[in-house]
């Protein structure tokens, strides 16, 4: 069927619109070839005349049927064009709040700017093991498809996540890695999955920054290879980075920030471990306050710093390593604050007293004299001599900034290297899944070298993407046995040749960088001379400092200023030598020359799609452009050796509003990310594909009775389609699907809608006829009733007179009285009968209730006595058991107490024995004292003979001593008598206690056979006796103490007597 035949009344189309890009309209009248315009009705009910060229009519794109609006796969739309894609994404995103949509092999992810609860572990397990089309579009579905193909085919996979800044690339890549970590838990002690996820906060801290478009924009490309073993479990990871934006270290545009790590460090400057770095607030460092933004709304830099340090520790990077990294970062901040002054017009100087200079040199171990000298001077090597020449302030500032950029770039590579080392675990890698988080196509008001490299990388990725989509289309046709026809699609190889081929843009840039006096202007003139004939290269009309390249997405104008400096990435050799002699080992290692080995892939060998461009000499190989080109070739080799999966992230608006859809911004990104190119490739062949079952269930309404009676549904579909669409080139029959060209499904929908519309008209006709007939019958019945009423009134007026009215009234009165009398009599009889019946009924009910109550009362009494007897019986049984248990327990307790008392008695006997021994020892000491007294008496006699003069005094002293001795002897005798009495009394008491205990034991044996009431009395008696025994023992102890005191006092008196005798 011709496409022009679809432009009929009620058909909806899309027309261009300045505000919304495209807007919907409805055709008012059928369009015929030769009509000068197409009459349309807009959604605001205004009529619009769309001009049409009669010689070559270009009609507006047709709108898809409502059944296809909101499809989760854009390639399922009947009309595949830009407005259909734009509208379908808007319906899903704004109305259904769905952020994911398939476009063939691409997953389109629109940033919602809001946290959605669709990424939990439950969702991950729901998508695990499912086919890609079985569930709604999701980033986990793409990850599961890659994981499943890797496990099934044992082939490496790649997931390419791209989009412009702020579209959600980093978050999407993070969710992909989290999915792999959850579904492939290894259970090993290395916890490699946690380490892979822990690397994200570190790379975001040192590689992400706030821009005008995104608060957490990745300023580098990252390709993460997640390795798996033969059991499809994660065993490690490796990370490759591309094109770090070094210029951000020394310059930020308005409302932008430097890398997050600097602000995290400044927020923690008061911590003890950061005191030695002498940090200030971020607004006092030149490198962190250029953009005027030092904080981000909703972001706590101090907490982020804690998270960064915690992830460093999780990866095994200890405090010493972290301290070295923070020293380098603090040194960069202090280097930016080093003040360089003008000295005349062509000289510059740095004060040695500059505190930031001193801090930089102290932290990084750099000699201050050498650093100051080579910041403000440059060595020029001539043929016969070497000259040191001062440089102006501008060049000195550039040298300082170049040094800061170089140090940060080395530090970035060093941290990435350490992360890769931490992510390596023992074991052999079988396969891997690579996650590429790379910048999308960029175009700004001012585009420089970074945007040129980014767009160059996107040209290479777009070429790889086009070839992959073309290959998948061919495989689908071969699978369904559809004849393959050549599909025409956009090939961007000429643009790539313009950039990287011999005498291309990069080649001419490297050539100009060889000349010491080379400038951006000279390089631009070479571009104009060599590339002017290339249709993809243009010279701006109003500028001599820019050039324009026609990329696959859009035309981009690049400003040539800074291209040579950024490509050279030059740093004075004198400054490099100064850094090499640093006493700080990490900084010195950054600048040591190392042999550069050609990077090769580890586990596979691939042949590049196109041979790389060889550099002309050694210096060219070190340029930034050449390095980036080499790393890009390596990336393309890796992607070509894997099965790619694509995720395109879309930024819906620039204000970061949740679920707000700006059609102009979205369509710009769709053109740049290859979604529309996929649709273009699909539209060139057979974009709409229906299974036979789907076609049969949807379009069975278009079948005739003979076609519907066939049992073979596949043959029925073929018969119906051949009858409805005469041109067999508009569709093809595959093994399991029917392939339609663009617009054919919409034509079938139109036929179906016409059939439904005709059926609706018939149904409406019969329904309206029935309704009108029903209404007519009701009106006729109402007219008959009115006629009867009016005719009755007329007849009454003719036949009724005054006398007959009086008679009739009197008859009515008599009838009323009589009927009232009869009704009262009947009522009284009925009332009396009702009362009698009620009385008998209530009596019978009362007697029955009484009888029931009596029966229940007797039963209750019987139950009461029976239950009481059972309870008493149970109580008696329990009491006997309890008494037996108590008796046994108490007997055991008494036995234990008797044994303890026997032990205590034995102890008392031992103590009494020891007291007797001590008493005998005291007696012996007294006897020895008596002997000494006798000896002293003899000495006294001899002394009296020798000393006659003192005879009277000695006699008196002797008499006194004799009296004291007699007193002591009497006291000793009294003490012996008391001791014997007490000992005898204690012995008698002990024998009495022993006999008592023996009697108690015998009583206990007899008490077992006596009644239970005597047990308590015996226990009380026993306790009293035990208490009396304890009292006796306590009294004996006190007497023992008193005896000991008396013995001690007597010993003291004896010693005093001896002293007096000696005197």
Q: Give 47-98 pLDDT, tens digit per residue.
A: 888 888 877 778 888 888 887 788 888 877 878 788 988 999 999 999 999 9
Are 263 and 305 within 8 A, CB to CB? no
How far is residue 443's CA from residue 454's CA, in Å, rounded to a whole number?
10
Residues 339, 350 contacting (CB under 8 angstroms)? yes
pLDDT at 683: 59
For helices 368-376 and 573-580, the axis angle rounded to 10 degrees is: 170
Q: Is the dihedral of CA 627, 415, 434, 641 positive or negative?
A: positive
Q: For residues 492 and 956, what is the distance between their CA atoms, to the nearest angstrom?
A: 146
At residue 209, what are phi and psi to the nearest 5 degrees? -150, 165
The reported pLDDT for the residue numbered 614 is 39
d(CA 38, CA 91): 27
- The pLDDT assigned to 537 comes to 93
Give dist(CA 278, CA 273) in Å, integer.
11
Cα 656 off chain centre by: 21
Q: Rounded CA gap, 429 and 626, in Å?
A: 31
SS3 string, 123-190, reads: HHHHHCCCCCCCCCCCHHHHHHHHHHHHHHHCCCEEEEEEECCCCCHHHHHHHHHHHHHHHCCCCCCC
Checking 275-278 for CB contacts under 8 A at 24+ apart, the result is 277/326, 277/327, 277/330, 277/363, 278/330, 278/334, 278/359
Q: Give the β-pairing of 431-439 and 157-163.
A: parallel
Residue (of 41, 80, 79, 38) closest to 59 by Cα position: 38
Closest to 599 in 3D by CA, of 625, 630, 642, 578? 630
415-417-420-424 Cα dihedral, nearest 10 degrees: -120
Token pair listed for 867: 């239950």
Q: What is the DSSP string of 815-873?
A: HHHHHHHHHHHHHHHHHHHHHHHHHHHHHHHHHHHHHHHHHHHHHHHHHHHHHHHHHHH
Q: Residue 361's pLDDT is what? A: 93
CB neighbours of 416 closer than 8 A, spacing ≥ 6? 203, 239, 241
What distance in Å separates the CA atoms of residue 317 and residue 308, rounded to the nearest whole number?
11
Instruction: Give the pLDDT confidence score for residue 444 in this predicted structure.
Output: 78
8 A C-beta contact, residue 729 and residue 485:
no
In 3D space, the residue among 251, 250, 246, 285 whose CA is nearest the CA of residue 265 turns out to be 285
Residue with the two structure tokens 């949740």: 658
**End-to-end alpha-carbon separation of the chain, Å?**
155
Q: Which of 108, 228, 109 is nearest to 157 (CA)?
A: 228
Give the chain's residues under pLDDT 50.
1, 187-190, 594-621
Can you read off the two tokens belonging to residue 499? 């950039």
pLDDT reported for residue 1012: 62
Distance between alpha carbon 342 and the CA centroid of its chain, in Å?
53
Among 725, 726, 730, 698, residue whose Cα is nearest residue 713: 698
Whole-Å CA distances, 151 to 34, 232, 273, 588, 814: 60, 6, 47, 45, 108
The answer to whether 676 touches 490, Cβ cutoff 8 Å, is no
Is residue 168 within 8 A of residue 649, CB to CB? The reply is: yes
Q: How far apart are CA 924 and CA 610, in angstroms?
A: 124
Q: What pLDDT is stored for residue 823 in this prediction?
A: 93
- Give φ, ψ of 812 to 5 degrees: -65, -40
Give φ, ψ of 600 to 5 degrees: -130, 155
Q: How far apart are CA 911 and CA 13, in angstroms?
A: 122
Helices (H) and strands (E) in the chain, counts: 29, 23
Distance, CA of 386 to CA of 347 (rounded, Å): 19
Query: Rounded to the nearest 10 degrees, how much is the dihedral formed by the CA atoms of 623, 626, 627, 628?
Result: 120
Instruction: Output the six-digit token pair for 1044.
Output: 């000991």
Q: What's the confidence (pLDDT) of residue 543?
A: 82
Lookup: tokens for 881:
């058991």
The DSSP bridge pattern shows strands 21-27 and 537-538 to be unpaired
CA distances from 752 to 26, 448, 724, 728, 746 (A): 19, 55, 11, 20, 10
Q: How far is CA 931 from CA 870, 923, 926, 936, 976, in A?
A: 91, 12, 9, 9, 20
Q: Retrieve residue 943's tokens.
A: 């002394």
* Residue 842 burial class via C-beta count within 10 angstroms: exposed 0-12, middle 13-18, buried 19 and up: exposed
pTM: 0.62
CA angle 1001, 1006, 1009 (to 5 degrees): 140
pLDDT of 488 = 57
């Amino acid at each position: 069927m011709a496409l022009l035949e679809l432009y009929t009344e009620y058909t909806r189309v899309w027309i261009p619109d300045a505000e919304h890009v495209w807007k919907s309209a409805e055709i008012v009248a059928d369009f015929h070839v030769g009509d000068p315009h197409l009459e349309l009705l807009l959604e605001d009910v205004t009529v619009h005349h769309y001009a049409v060229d009669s010689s070559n009519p270009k009609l507006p794109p047709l709108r898809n049927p409502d059944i296809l609006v909101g499809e989760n796969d854009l390639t399922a739309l009947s009309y595949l064009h830009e407005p259909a894609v734009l509208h379908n994404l808007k319906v899903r995103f704004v109305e259904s709040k769905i952020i994911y949509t398939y476009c063939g092999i691409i997953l389109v992810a629109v940033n919602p700017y809001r946290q959605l609860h669709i990424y939990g572990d439950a969702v991950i397990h729901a998508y695990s093991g499912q086919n890609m089309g079985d569930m709604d579009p999701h980033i986990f579905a793409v990850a599961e498809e890659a994981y499943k193909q890797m496990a099934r085919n044992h082939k490496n996979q790649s997931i390419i996540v791209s989009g412009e800044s702020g579209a959600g690339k980093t978050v999407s890549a993070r969710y992909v890695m989290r999915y792999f970590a959850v579904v492939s838990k290894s259970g090993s002690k290395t916890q490699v999955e946690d380490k892979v996820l822990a690397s994200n906060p570190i790379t975001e801290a040192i590689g992400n920054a706030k821009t005008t478009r995104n608060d957490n924009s990745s300023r580098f490309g990252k390709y993460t290879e997640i390795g798996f073993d033969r059991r499809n479990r994660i065993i490690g990871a490796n990370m490759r980075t591309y094109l770090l934006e070094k210029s951000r270290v020394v310059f930020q545009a308005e409302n932008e920030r430097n890398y997050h790590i600097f602000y995290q460090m400044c927020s923690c400057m008061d911590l003890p471990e950061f005191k030695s770095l002498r940090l200030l607030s971020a607004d006092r460092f030149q490198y962190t306050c250029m953009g005027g933004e030092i904080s981000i709304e909703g972001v706590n830099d101090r907490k982020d710093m804690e998270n960064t340090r915690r992830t460093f520790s999780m990866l095994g990077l200890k405090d010493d390593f972290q301290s070295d990294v923070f020293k380098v970062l603090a040194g960069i901040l202090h280097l930016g604050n080093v003040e360089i002054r003008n000295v005349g017009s062509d000289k510059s100087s740095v004060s040695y007293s500059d505190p930031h200079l001193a801090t930089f040199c102290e932290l990084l171990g750099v000699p201050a004299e050498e650093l100051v000298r080579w910041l403000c001077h440059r060595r020029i090597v001539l043929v016969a001599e070497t000259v040191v020449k001062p440089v102006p302030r501008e060049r000195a500032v550039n040298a300082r900034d170049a040094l800061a950029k170089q140090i940060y770039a080395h530090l970035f590579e060093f941290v990435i290297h350490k992360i890769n080392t931490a992510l390596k675990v023992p074991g052999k890698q079988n396969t891997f899944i690579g996650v590429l988080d790379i910048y999308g196509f960029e175009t700004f008001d001012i585009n420089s070298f970074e945007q040129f490299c980014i767009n160059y990388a996107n040209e290479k990725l777009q070429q790889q993407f086009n070839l992959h989509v073309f290959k998948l289309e061919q495989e689908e046709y071969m699978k369904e046995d559809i004849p393959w026809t050549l599909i025409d699609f956009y090939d961007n190889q000429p643009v790539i040749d313009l950039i990287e081929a011999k005498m291309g843009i990069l080649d001419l840039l490297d050539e100009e960088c060889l000349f010491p006096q080379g400038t951006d202007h000279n390089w631009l003139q070479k571009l104009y001379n060599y590339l002017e004939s290339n249709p993809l290269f243009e010279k701006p009309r109003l500028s001599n400092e820019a050039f324009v390249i026609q990329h696959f997405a859009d035309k981009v104008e690049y400003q040539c200023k800074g291209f040579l400096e950024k490509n050279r990435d030059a740093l004075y050799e004198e400054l490099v030598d100064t850094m090499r002699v640093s006493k700080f080992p990490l900084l010195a290692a950054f600048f040591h020359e190392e042999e550069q080995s050609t990077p090769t892939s580890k586990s596979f060998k691939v042949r590049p799609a196109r041979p790389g461009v060889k550099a002309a000499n050694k210096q060219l190989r070190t340029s930034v452009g050449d390095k980036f080109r080499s790393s890009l070739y390596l990336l393309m080799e890796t992607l070509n050796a894997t099965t790619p999966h694509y995720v395109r992230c879309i930024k819906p608006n620039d204000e970061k509003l949740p679920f707000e859809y700006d059609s102009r911004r979205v369509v710009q990104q769709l053109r740049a990310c290859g979604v529309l190119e996929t649709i273009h490739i699909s539209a060139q062949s057979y974009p709409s594909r229906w299974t036979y079952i789907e076609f049969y269930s949807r379009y069975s309404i278009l079948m005739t009775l003979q076609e519907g009676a066939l049992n073979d549904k596949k043959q029925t579909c073929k018969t119906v389609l051949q009858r409805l669409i005469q041109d067999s080139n508009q569709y093809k029959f595959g093994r399991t699907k029917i392939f339609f060209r663009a617009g054919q499904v919409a034509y079938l929908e139109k036929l179906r809608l016409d059939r439904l519309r005709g059926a609706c008209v018939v149904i409406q006709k019969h329904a309206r006829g029935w309704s009108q007939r029903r209404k007519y019958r009701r009106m006729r019945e109402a007219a008959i009733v009115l006629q009867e009423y009016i005719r009755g009134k007329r007849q009454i007026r003719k036949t009724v007179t005054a006398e007959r009215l009086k008679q009739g009234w009197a008859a009515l009165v008599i009838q009323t009285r009589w009927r009232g009398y009869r009704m009262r009599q009947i009522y009284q009889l009925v009332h009396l009968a009702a009362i009698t019946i009620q009385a008998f009924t209530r009596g019978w009910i009362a007697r029955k209730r009484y009888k029931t109550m009596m029966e229940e009362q007797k039963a209750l009494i019987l139950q009461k006595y029976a239950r009481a007897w059972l309870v008493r019986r149970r109580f008696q049984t329990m009491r006997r058991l309890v008494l037996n248990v108590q008796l046994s327990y108490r007997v055991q307790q008494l036995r234990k107490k008797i044994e303890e008392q026997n032990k205590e008695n034995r102890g008392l006997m031992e103590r009494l024995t020891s007291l007797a021994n001590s008493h005998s020892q005291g007696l012996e000491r007294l006897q020895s004292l008596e002997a000494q007294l006798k000896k002293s008496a003899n000495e006294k006699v001899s002394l009296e003979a020798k000393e006659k003069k003192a005879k009277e005094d000695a006699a008196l002293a002797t008499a006194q001593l004799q009296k004291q001795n007699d007193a002591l002897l009497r006291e000793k005798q009294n003490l012996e008598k008391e001791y014997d009495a007490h000992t005898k009394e204690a012995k008698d008491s002990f024998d009495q206690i022993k006999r008592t205990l023996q009697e108690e034991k015998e009583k206990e044996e007899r008490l077992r056979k006596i009644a239970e009431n005597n047990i308590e009395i015996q226990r009380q008696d026993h306790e009293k006796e035990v208490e009396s025994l304890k009292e006796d023992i306590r009294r004996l102890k006190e007497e023992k103490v008193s005896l000991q005191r008396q013995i001690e006092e007597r010993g003291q008196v004896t010693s005093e007597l001896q002293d007096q005798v000696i005197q």
